[in-house]
Every structure is written in structure tokens, then in C-alpha cells.
Chain A
């Protein structure tokens, strides 16, 4: 069964450094998302992306965050200058459509640890 793949599985970075988290969504999907989950807390929406532009972003997704689809298969999340509070699991998801009956399929996440 097709799946969303994320790399790396674990990223350790010094505070203030830039990180890029990578995702390969399911091949025929058109809508892409990033979520994060801080340890012990609920999964939170960051951003959705369609047709090479951001569809929606949450209040968490401030100017230090950016997303890009650099080619036909990858979808990346960049954090420009990491803070300690950016430490979390980051999940990528994709969906064939944005309609309510089209579920989002999640990758296994990247654990980001900021030192």
C-alpha cells in the first residue's frame, strides 16, 4: 500500500540553526500538510499546501517556517532559526483531495531535537 515517507527519522540540531525536514507524499495525492506533536500534547496543524502554494497556515507557522515542493515528489518544511520550543515530532500528511471524505495519510514523522 502506498505510504508517506519522511526523512530523517531523527534530527538533532543546535538552537539557531536551520533544519529541513523532508517528505515524499503518496504519488497521486494533491494536498500536502505538516503537523507537529510536542511530547505529551495533541497533534497540531501547521500548514496545508496545494498547487504549489500555501492553502492555510496556523498561528504556529510564523515567519521562521517555510514549505516548498522543489520537484514532483518531495515536500519540505524548513525552520530557519530553530528554538528550543521547536523540539517535537513533525508529521507530513497527504490527501488526494481536500474534501471531507478524503482522509489524510500520515508519515512516521521526524523527531526534531533542539539543543
Chain B
């Protein structure tokens, strides 16, 4: 079983602050996907990273894939209340194609 550990589990910050959430594993993944999930809805894809060391930016969100493709981080600059949600990382590939292994997620709350 390939496990992804996300930290922190909960994060509560004020509007305008910066934050980083982490996704770590002892396993190598061929890709790492970040999703955001709202209550009662399905995960919505934010980004996919596939190359070790890759950095992708999506407006105020910066995603990085570790050099060894075992870990990833999501950094949000100047967080806004609209960023509130559950952020999930999911690893794909590795020993089994197609199947995604999800972390438990980081629940982010941004207060105005």
C-alpha cells in the first residue's frame, strides 16, 4: 500500500497570510495531483505534477513536486476566504498504473 501523509490536518489563518501544506510519502509516484474538495462535492482538480523538482503556479497557488517524486507541497500566497476548503493530494503510477492513492487532506479555513 502506498501511503500519502498530509500535514497539517487542519489550518486556520487570517486573510492575507501565507501558508504551505505538505504531502509526503515513502513511495515514488509517477504523478502527484492536487484536488480541492467542498462539502458534499467531488474533488476538483487543481494541478498535476509529473517531473521531479517541477514547480507549477496557479495564480496565488504554487505547487512543487519533490526531486525524488515522493513528496509535494502547496503554497498559497495572501490567502483569501474563498481559498477555504479541503485540499487533497493524490499519487498516481508507481507500482500500479491508474489507481490514485489519496491523502487525508488539509482542511484550510481562511477568516476575513
- Which residues of A are in contact with B by a Cβ distance under 8 Å? 4, 6, 31, 33, 35, 41-45, 48, 50, 55-56, 58, 91, 95, 98-109, 111
User: Looking at chain B, what size class is its interface with the partner chain?
Assistant: 20 to 34
A89 → chain B closest CB, angstroms: 8
Chain B minimum-CB-distance residue to A46: B99
Q: How far is the CB of A66 from chain B (nearest CB, A)?
A: 18
Residues of B contacting A: mostly: strand
Contacts of A108 in B (CB 8 A): 40-42
Per a CB cutoff under 8 Å, which of A42, A99, A109 touches B103?
Answer: A42
Give a binary string over B92-106; 1 marks a CB under 8 Å from any A CB, 0 the rest. Answer: 110011111111110
Among B30, B96, B104, contact of A42 (Cβ-Cβ < 8 Å):
B104
Report which of B44, B48, B96, B99 forms a contact with A101, defined as CB distance below 8 A: B48
Q: Closest Cβ of chain A: how far from B49's Cβ, in Å?
A: 9
A100 touches B101 (CB 8 A): no
B50 at the interface (CB under 8 A from A): yes
A-side contacts of B90, CB under 8 Å: 43
Q: Which of B82-98 contact A (CB under 8 A)?
A: 88, 90, 92-93, 96-98
Q: Given contacts A42-B104, A104-B92, could you give 19 more A-B pairs where the C-beta distance is less than 8 Å?
A: A31-B98, A33-B99, A42-B105, A43-B88, A43-B100, A55-B97, A55-B98, A56-B96, A56-B97, A58-B99, A91-B43, A95-B98, A98-B98, A100-B29, A101-B48, A103-B45, A103-B48, A104-B100, A106-B44
